[in-house]
Amino acid sequence: MPDPCFLLEKCLGLSLSDRYWIRPVDSGLLWEEINFFDNPFSEDMGDILFGKGSGNGKISLMSPDNTSDGWLKKKWKIIDGKRCLIKGGSEAAQQEPYNEVFASRIMTRLRIPHVPYFLITEENYPYSVCGDFVMQDTELITAWRIMQTAKKTNHVSAYRHYLDCCSRLGIDGMEEAMNRMLVLDYLIVNEDRHLNNFGVVRNADTLEYIGAAPIYDCGTSLWFDKPSRMISARAKVNCKPFKNSHEEQIKLVTDFSWLDIFALQGIEDELREIVRDSAFIDEARCEALCRGLSGRIDMLQEAACQSVYQVFVDNTENDVTENIAYSGAGGPKGQEKRKSMND
C-alpha cells in the first residue's frame, strides 16, 4: 500500500474507540454484522505488528489494529469474550508495561477512576493488558477534539481553555477529574499526557456527554527511559499537556481535600512485587525507582500543603506551546503532527 491511510478502507474504518465506519455503496452491510464490539476480528495485523507473521501467508485486514495509534508495539485481542489492548515496552528497561500496572495500583488506592491494567509475559518480554472502556453505545472524545470546539485566545491558558470548552459543552465534573489526573501525573512523573491521552466519554447515539474518561495510558512515566543513576525525585523531565514542568502544572490543582496521602504508605512494596520477575529491571533499578517514588510522595504532600497558603493565578506563562496530536482517533485516520495550542 502506498500510504497507511489505505489500511482504513480494509477494515471499513472500524475501531474500538468509536462507532464511525465506512459503508460501501450498495453493499447491504449492517453495523450489527461487522462492528468489532460484537463480532470477532482478525488477529493477523496484530501478529504482524508483534513480529509473528500471518502463518499461512493469507492476511485478513479486518482488524481494529489498523486504526490504532501510538509508537509502542500493541494489538487488540479478545480474551474471555472481552476486547483487550496488549501493549509492549521500549528501551532497555521495557518499563512501560510495569508502569501501567503500577499506576493502576496507585489509582486504586487513591480512588481515582481509571482503566485497570494487568501484566503478562511472552517470551520474557512484559506486556500490559487492559480492557476496552468504550462500549458499543459510547465513544471517546479526546481532549484535542474538545479544545477544537472553540478558538483559544492568546491571553487564555491552555488549561482554562480546556475547562471552558468542557463547560460550554455541558460536561460536568471536569475540574475535579483534572485535579485527580494532574496529581497522578505529578506523582508518577508522567512525561506524555498529550492531548490524545485523556478526554471525555459521550453517548454515541444521543451525543450526550457522560463525563471524563477514566484515566488510561500512563506508561511513559517513572523515569522510564532514564538510566538508573539519573532516577531522582527532582530530576527534570518533560511535562504535558498544560504546563512545561510538573512543578508548574501541579499548581493548577484547585482542591487537594480528596487526596489521602496516607493511602500511599507501603506502595513501594507493590512496585517491587510488580517488577520482581522482570528480566529487564534489576534490583538496583528497582530500588532507585522506589527511592524516587518515595521522594515524589513527599513532594506531593508538600505541594498540597503549600496550596493552602498560596493563591495561584493561572495564565499563559509556562504553557505547553506545542502538543502531539492526531487528526483522527487512530493512526491511519490521520497522520501525526505537531500543532500549536493556538491553532
Q: pLDDT band for position 326 (50/70/90)?
A: very low
The band of 312, judged by pLDDT with boundaries at 50, 70 and 90, is confident
Instruction: Break the chain into its structural domains and give their ranges.
Output: 6-131, 138-340
Proportion of the chain above pLDDT 70, given as a percent: 93
Residue 295 pLDDT more than 90? Answer: yes
**pLDDT tens figures, 165-223:** 999 999 999 999 999 999 999 999 999 999 999 999 999 999 999 999 999 999 999 99
- Least confident residue range of 4-18, 21-35, 134-148: 4-18
pLDDT of residue 118: 97
| CATH architecture, range 6-131 | 2-Layer Sandwich (3.30)
Q: Which long-range contacts (C-beta less than 8 Å, at least 24 apart) are formed by 302-308?
A: 303/186, 303/250, 303/251, 303/253, 304/256, 304/259, 304/261, 307/251, 307/253, 307/256
Residue 56 has a pLDDT of: 66
Give me the residues paired with residue 199 across strands.
Answer: 142
Contact between 34 and 14 (Cβ < 8 Å): yes
Query: Chain-wide mean pLDDT for the chain?
Result: 91
Domains 6-131 and 138-340 share a fold: no
> What phi and psi values does residue 316 have, to the nearest 5 degrees?
-80, -5
What pLDDT score does 313 carry? 85
Q: What is the mean pLDDT of residues 271-285?
A: 96
Determine how many CB atoms are found less than 10 A away from the CB of residue 209.
18
The confidence score (pLDDT) of residue 55 equals 63
Q: How confident is the model at residue 335 (pLDDT cuts 50, 70, 90)?
A: very low
340 with 319: CB under 8 angstroms? no
Q: What is the pLDDT of residue 340?
A: 44
Query: What does the alpha-carbon distance between residue 89 and residue 71 come to, in Å, rounded to a whole number?
Result: 10
The 10s digit of each residue's pLDDT in 41-81 is: 999 988 888 888 766 678 899 999 988 877 788 999 999 99
| Domain 138-340 belongs in CATH node 3.60.21.10 | no
pLDDT of 292 strictly over 90: yes
| pLDDT at res. 120 | 96
pLDDT of residue 4: 78
Least confident of 45-59, 97-111, 280-294: 45-59
Model-level pTM?
Answer: 0.91
Residue 334's pLDDT is 37
> Of 188-197, 303-312, 326-335, which gets the smallest average pLDDT?
326-335
68 and 76 Cβ atoms separated by less than 8 Å: yes
CB-based contacts of 84: which residues, under 8 Å, 6+ apart?
76, 77, 78, 129, 130, 131, 132
Is pLDDT larger for residue 328 or for residue 130? 130
Q: Which residue has the higher pLDDT, 309 or 203?
A: 203
3-state secondary structure the chain: CCCCCHHHHHCCCCCCCCCCCCCCCCCCCCHHHHCCCCCCCCCHHHHHHCCCCCCCCCCCCCCHHHHCCCCCCEEEEEECCEEEEEECCCCCCCCHHHHHHHHHHHHHHHCCCECCEEEEEECCEEEEEEECCCCCCEEEEEHHHHHCCCCCCCCCCHHHHHHHHHHHCCCCCHHHHHHHHHHHHHHHCCCCCCCCCCEEEEECCCCCEEEECCECCCCCCCCCCCCHHHCCCCCCCCCCCCECCHHHHHHHCCCCCCCCHHHHCCHHHHHHHHHCCCCCCCHHHHHHHHHHHHHHHHHHHHHHHHHHHCCCCCCCCCECCEEEEECCCCHHHCCEEEEECCC
pLDDT band (50, 70, 90) for residue 324: low
